[in-house]
Structure 1
Amino acid sequence: MTEKQLHIAFLGIGLMGGPMTRNLLDAGFSMTLWNRTASKCEPFKDQATIADSPEQAVRDADVVITMLENSEVVEQVLVEQGGITALKSGALLIDMSSIQPSVARRHAGLAAEQGAGYVDAPVSGGTVGATEARLSIMAGGLEQDVDRARPVFEVLGKCTRIGPVGSGQLAKLANQAIVGITIGAVSEALLLAAQGGADPAAVREALMGGFAGSRILELHGQRMIDRAFAPGAPARIQLKDMRMILDEARAEGLTLPLSQQVHNEYLSLIANGHSDVDHSGLLLELEHLNGTLLGSTVSGSKSARSGNRE
């Protein structure tokens, strides 16, 4: 069987799964798709088989990919709805969701009972990276299983094997700690500069050429200036990731004060009705806390403090 003759079952056709599926189909892979909201599979119905259940989707697949929202949903789909028990012997299960490392390890054990391999392979790069096939893929699993997955990963982005099962999820938690904390830092920095009278767009441009330059400042700093908070990665997902970071830290006997503070800020952001804004929308919580808006004039700031917030 050649690489492109592999039959892939893809479970989770959402913001990330949709463009990933498109890239795999365009690369010539045969695919079966399943999603909890079946209508999200419709754009691919002429090129892929649409399954009615996870069990049906994975039954004849050589490779099964899950791209689901959280540990609870992955558990429901793979365990409660029979996804793992329907795996054929010799299949490879690749979970590209962001879940707890302990859940990844347990699912690897269940897959092994079916004679199947397992790789946890969460990604970074957001919807842009998914669309442009530039995802950073952090893989945990046996070397031979990660090698088996590489023909698939090469269509989606760049894969780095981190270590044994669960290691990919640990790398993703590290990624999300940096992302969340840096979004908080960029929010505070731009608001501080703007409140003192500086042009936040000019501040961002100047900082991009120095030691503070980062992908977060480049992309999310611009989102903040443009107030463009349509979700690439929703704030509720960032909160879920921050919670997992703290859970893993407690399990390892660590205290992570920066992660704890950013978690609390995302918790407040969502409590104030912004669960589906982009995670760069953390700026909205900082504005709410200070009663001002990024880039507002002195008179505009006074108005904002009086309650006229966006």
Structure 2
Amino acid sequence: MKIGFIGLGAMGRAMATNLINADFDVTVWNRSTDKCQPLVEAGATQADSPADCATADVLITMLADDAALAAVVEEHGLIEAMGENTVHVNMATVSVATGRDMAARHQSAGRAYVAAPVLGRPDMAKAAKLQILAAGPDAAIETARPALETMGAKVWPAGDEPYRANVMKLATNYMLMSAVETMGEAAALTAKYGIEPGDFLEIVTSSVFAAPAYQAYAPAMSKREYDNPEGFKLALGAKDVDLALAAAHAEQVPMPMGATARERLAEAMAAGDGDKDLSALAEVSRRGAHLDD
């Protein structure tokens, strides 16, 4: 099977590498061309433009945000360049509005489109343990399934309308932001009373909150070590909360905790923590509690 892969950030690079290692015929493109070289050395072909990836059996896009996806689609004529039987699988986290727009554009052009955002960080992408939310026409998903199953631990059906997978991803990340924020607040409370954050967090993440959303971020909070290239950047978390709130506003769904989460994420970014791991959100609570004064 021929795969075109566009977007080689931390997630995309790991996902494309797994496809190469599984002997798929992979052609890659990235705006910063130097990121293609390690994959070429692993066996991929480097495309001169995104359109060169579009004639594959499955075209995968894993770009940073709505704007990056729009730039590739519009500036490079990606949909127009797609083969008649090519399935475009967009695995990036994008807004519901963009998800709907992409589906409509592909339908107008008579091309297949699947939204398949992922749950998991770069370390999980490397280990091919991503949870993949796939929504779109059944036949298109089945065409892409061998590639999806190579990159993830499970492919979850999310409906026949692609935007539904986008909604599910945003709702999940909204819950994640809330979990990390409340964990940071609770750790600050216990620290104020002389309890080591690591001791408290080990207890709760081994018992009542023994779940990946907590266990993945507690160690960094305990050590206050937030420079993690394999982690989920705080700024991306803020972007996802914005997208979730926009989706909620569009359908008049109250999400009051979202405003608090967004405010706290903004405080963290103002403090220079945007490129750090999401667990750095705990520092906002520490500063508010004057723990380091």
**TM-score bucket (shorter structure):** over 0.9
Instruction: Provide the rounded CA distance (Å) in 2 between the counterparts of 1:264 and 1:120.
Output: 29
Instruction: Provide the rounded CA distance (Å) in 2 between the counterparts of 1:174 and 1:196.
Output: 34
Partner of 1:89, secondary structure, is coil
Pairing partner for 2:207 from 204, 210, 231? 210
Larger Rg: 1
TM-score (ref. length: structure 1): 0.90
Q: Give the corresponding residue for 2:87.
A: 92
Taking only aligned residues, the RMSD between alpha carbons, in angstroms, comes to 1.3
Q: Give the corresponding residue for 1:169.
A: 166
Number of residue pairs aligned between Structure 1 and Structure 2:
288
Deviation at 1:255, TM superposition (A): 1.6
Deviation at 1:135, TM superposition (A): 0.2
Deviation at 1:289, TM superposition (A): 2.7
Instruction: Provide the rounded CA distance (Å) in 2 between the counterparts of 1:69 and 1:113.
Output: 25
Would you say 1:250 and 2:249 are equivalent positions?
yes
For structure 1, the 5+ residue unaligned runs are: 1-5, 293-303, 306-310
Would you say 1:51 and 2:44 are equivalent positions?
no
Partner of 1:45, secondary structure, is helix
Instruction: Provide the rounded CA distance (Å) in 2 between the counterparts of 1:68 and 1:229.
Output: 23
Pairing partner for 1:153 from 148, 151, 165? 148
Answer with 154-163 or 213-222: which moved more.
Answer: 213-222
Q: Is the 8 A contact 2:192 2:289 kept in 1?
A: no
Q: Deviations over 1:112-141 (max 9, x none)?
A: 333321110110111111000000101111
Instruction: Provide the rounded CA distance (Å) in 1 between the counterparts of 2:264 and 2:277.
Output: 14
Instruction: Provide the rounded CA distance (Å) in 2 between the counterparts of 1:132 and 1:213.
Output: 21
Kindly provide the amino acid, as one letter, of the partner of residue 282 in structure 2.
L
Runs of 4 or more off by more than 3 Å in structure 1? none
**What are the equivalent positions in structure 2 for 1:264-279 lying under 5 Å apart?**
264-279=263-278
Between the two structures, name the one with larger relative contact order (CA 8 Å, sep ≥ 6).
Answer: 2
Kindly provide the amino acid, as one letter, of the partner of residue 287 in structure 1.
R
Deviation at 1:290, TM superposition (A): 2.8
User: Taking every aligned residue pair, what percent have the same amino acid on both sides?
Assistant: 30
Q: Is the 8 A contact 1:177 1:245 kept in 2?
A: yes
Q: Is the 8 A contact 1:87 1:111 kept in 2?
A: no
Q: Give the corresponding residue for 1:32.
A: 27
Kindly provide the amino acid, as one letter, of the partner of residue 88 in structure 2.
L
